[in-house]
A and B are shown apart, each in its own frame.
Chain A
Amino acid sequence: MNTLSDQQLDELQKDLDAIRDEVLADLGERDANHIRSMVRLHRKLEVGGRLLMPFGFIPPVFLAATASLGLAKILENMEIGHNVMHGQYDWMNDPSLNSQTYEWDTACSSESWRRTHNFEHHTYTNVIGKDRDYGYAVLRLSNDEPWKPRHTFQILNYAALSILFQWGVALHELEAEKLSHGKSHLKEKRPFLRLAAKKAGRQAFKDYVFFPALTLPVAPIVLAGNAGANLIRNLWSSTVIFCGHFTQDAETFTEEEAEGESKGHWYLRQLTGSSNFTGGKWLHIMSGHLSFQIEHHVFPDLPAHRYPEISEKVQTVCRKHGIHYNTGSFGKQYSTVLKRILRYSLPERITRRPAVA
């Protein structure tokens, strides 16, 4: 990890706070219009997808309906739900966009998400042992974690995690790895399990029972389309999220490094532990602007559509302090994620490269 003196860290904090303050002072109708237009688009895609789905016995209609519903779920999860739950729009004082009451269209309950993601992941970003998002306790992505034989074929675990992503996220707080090691008991997890079952049941009921049953003669088509839409969303969101922290140069940290740190040091960790990818406006929107993962981690509660606008300033601050700003095309970043998963499938003694002279 880059080492900056306490004075440099203070300076870094001031520089980043200045960017944040400038955006906060400017929040207004433009931001409200952005999120409301996203919500409106989501409603159109979802209503359109649901209405078209029963006519899915015509193949092109099936594709259109599934794509529409899949895009609706992506937009709602990424650009609306994730961002609203970060409190990006709490200042609007609109009860429909409130971080504490918003419930999103995925198996994981908002309450559990706010605990594991907003708090654990965003506070302890990339701290091995503290940030359970780092590899989701399924993948070994750093030599800080001891190698075990089960890691050899972790690329298959990765594929399974991506396909079933919403269910993995829903059960994240169960901390299954601690249960199996006897570090925690199922009994303590009962309140969580009740909450998880209620939300997951609701989602399964909607997509796999209610809407198929409503259109009984074509139930299998509706069931397949709904499953397809969920699959599209699962693959896309897991891919975007993996590009955010598991690329080649995204750094990891030890618990000691993060212990009692200053705000400046927290900023430094967010800058060096995250990675962006480049693309057009709609790629950013469909990623919930997590394509600007660096900006998101530095300013998790600024409206995400502002990230592209402040990116240049964040890069200037990085250059000033000699901090690497990790970005690249989507294809390039994703290929380094796959390489990382493969590389750490193997123990350190095999993958260690001889030092270049």
Chain B
Amino acid sequence: MLAKITPSKAIHWLGRQLLNREDPGAFFDPLTTAINPMWAQQYTPARVERITEETADTKTFVLKPAHRWGGFKAGQHLNVGIDINGVRRTRTFSLSSSPALWRNQGLITLTIKRLPGGLVTNWLHDELKTGDVIGLSEAFGDFLIPEEKRSVLFIAGGSGITPILSHLETMALEDYPGAVTLLYYVRTQSDVIGEERLIALRNRYPSFALNIITTHEGSEPRYLTGQDLDLIPGLADREIFLCGPKGLMELATDQLSQRGVSNDRQHSTFFAPPAPAQLASTDIGGEVTFSKSNLSVDSKGDANLLEIAEAAGLTPRHGCRMGICHQCTCTKTSGTVVNRLTGKTSGSGAESVQLCISVPQGPVALEA
């Protein structure tokens, strides 16, 4: 093992010396990707093998990542990177397939719903074609099947089903010993994502109980109730997995707590859509987190990130303080900022910002 690492470390060192970059492999990308986009080294390239329609607004993308991709555990997510009009956009999506599909056939699936007004999800739906290549990160996340083999209750809403599809297929394959129940809330029957897979699972996996509840087919909305939970046998001993829109998650957490399910038995994950762009200066300010300094401060009014950092006792690198020299550019990992020069609102994902002209709009996390 050591012998395998040492020469590659030496080559990497040499590459850094010769090519002036921390990722020397990516130096040749502009040449190699012109021949075959799957040779990219800057990210893990993945080819779109198939695209299937789940519902009117949801598609499943079957991808074949490059061999070096590190695989994943059921319930994890990854970042997808695509260039839209010259700008690299990264968004996080759950893997909806089981790790077995990756191990056996080298394939993974992402099941993605269109967000109204969403830049990336709409682009993926409208522009991405079979044979195209997109960039992937390694998988991450801890929304994982429990190590102790207890019974499990999944509560999903809408597209929140995606990581749970991965869980269920994995549990079916390894014949998970406990009882497994899924409460799946959808607006109407035609909004069920992965219907065929769910029904196939129910047919071949005896300890799996499926309950699909439509919320908007009657005259009154029919949301999660305490009764839905009371029908689950042995609720108190189950591990609970929640994934769905904020309203459902809050309702479920509330009802579960009332029934004495402790917080450490509840696992949840969800991705909020980005806040709509607002140019008004009334809602600026917010909590700013500096990850490298392990520091969080509150800001009010139109203080820019550089001023906020300095007020908090940090000394970020900076120069002109007027948006010219880019000395203070750093990576925003999440949150929205308003550019003081242009009045423009940023995206919510990871991107470079100039501290001296960026004003937070709500909570912002910085790699600084």
A93 lies within 8 A of B89 (CB): yes
Report which of A21, A29, A118, A301 forms a contact with B342, defined as CB distance below 8 A.
Answer: A21
Report which of A100, A104, A123, A205 forms a contact with B352, defined as CB distance below 8 A.
Answer: A100
**How many residues does chain B have at the interface if contact means C-beta atoms less than 8 Å apart?**
37
Among residues of B, the one whose C-beta sits closest to the C-beta of A297 is B324
B319 lies within 8 A of A30 (CB): no
Among residues of A, the one whose C-beta sits closest to the C-beta of B349 is A93
Main secondary structure of the interface of A (DSSP, over half): helix
A92 lies within 8 A of B86 (CB): yes
B327 lies within 8 A of A115 (CB): yes
Q: Which of A35-43, A151-159, A182-190, A319-327 contacts B (4 or more CB under 8 A)?
A: A35-43
Main secondary structure of the interface of B (DSSP, over half): mixed
The A-contacting residues of B in range 1-50, CB under 8 angstroms, are 14, 17-18, 20-23, 26-31, 34, 42
B30 lies within 8 A of A205 (CB): no
- B83-111 CB mask vs A (1 if < 8 Å, else 0) is 10111111000000000000000000000
B202 within 8 A of A: no
- A89-114 CB mask vs B (1 if < 8 Å, else 0) is 01111111011110111000000001
B325 within 8 A of A: yes
The B-contacting residues of A in range 65-122, CB under 8 angstroms, are 85-87, 90-96, 98-101, 103-105, 114-115, 118-119, 122
B55: min CB distance to chain A, Å: 31
Q: In the bound complex, how far is the Cα of B257 from the Cα of A139, in angstroms?
A: 77
B150 within 8 A of A: no
The A-contacting residues of B in range 307-356, CB under 8 angstroms, are 319-320, 322-327, 329-330, 342, 350-352, 354
A189: min CB distance to chain B, Å: 18
**How many residues does chain A have at the interface if contact means C-beta atoms less than 8 Å apart?**
45
The number of residue pairs between A and B whose CB atoms lie closer than 8 Å in the complex comes to: 107
B364: min CB distance to chain A, Å: 16
Among residues of A, the one whose C-beta sits closest to the C-beta of B352 is A90
Tell me whether A29 and B85 are in contact in the complex, defined as CB-CB below 8 angstroms, given that A39-B30, A90-B352 are known contacts. yes
B319 lies within 8 A of A123 (CB): yes
Q: In the bound complex, how far is the Cα of B30 from the Cα of A30, in angstroms?
A: 17
Chain A residue numbers with a CB within 8 Å of B87 are 28, 32, 91-93
Q: In the bound complex, how far is the Cα of B330 from the Cα of A91, in angstroms?
A: 12
B325 lies within 8 A of A114 (CB): yes
A43 lies within 8 A of B327 (CB): no
Q: In the bound complex, how far is the Cα of B351 from the Cα of A24, in angstroms?
A: 17
Report which of B20, B42, B86, B350 forms a contact with A202, defined as CB distance below 8 A.
Answer: B20
A28 lies within 8 A of B85 (CB): yes
Chain B residue numbers with a CB within 8 Å of A28 are 85-87
Tell me whether A104 and B325 are in contact in the complex, defined as CB-CB below 8 angstroms, given that A27-B86, A39-B30 are known contacts. no
- B133-156 CB mask vs A (1 if < 8 Å, else 0) is 000000000000000000000000
B325 lies within 8 A of A122 (CB): yes
B351 lies within 8 A of A93 (CB): yes
A228 within 8 A of B: no
A10: min CB distance to chain B, Å: 16
A31: min CB distance to chain B, Å: 6
B327 lies within 8 A of A114 (CB): yes
A31 lies within 8 A of B86 (CB): yes
A60: min CB distance to chain B, Å: 25
B242: min CB distance to chain A, Å: 32
Q: In the bound complex, how far is the Cα of B166 from the Cα of A255, in angstroms?
A: 66
A119 lies within 8 A of B319 (CB): yes
Q: What are 18 contact pairs spanning A and B, CB under 8 A?
A: A28-B87, A32-B86, A33-B86, A85-B326, A90-B326, A91-B86, A92-B87, A92-B88, A96-B42, A98-B352, A103-B20, A118-B325, A118-B327, A122-B320, A122-B324, A206-B18, A263-B322, A301-B323
Q: Using a CB–CB distance below 8 Å, which chain B residues touch chain A?
A: 14, 17-18, 20-23, 26-31, 34, 42, 83, 85-90, 319-320, 322-327, 329-330, 342, 350-352, 354
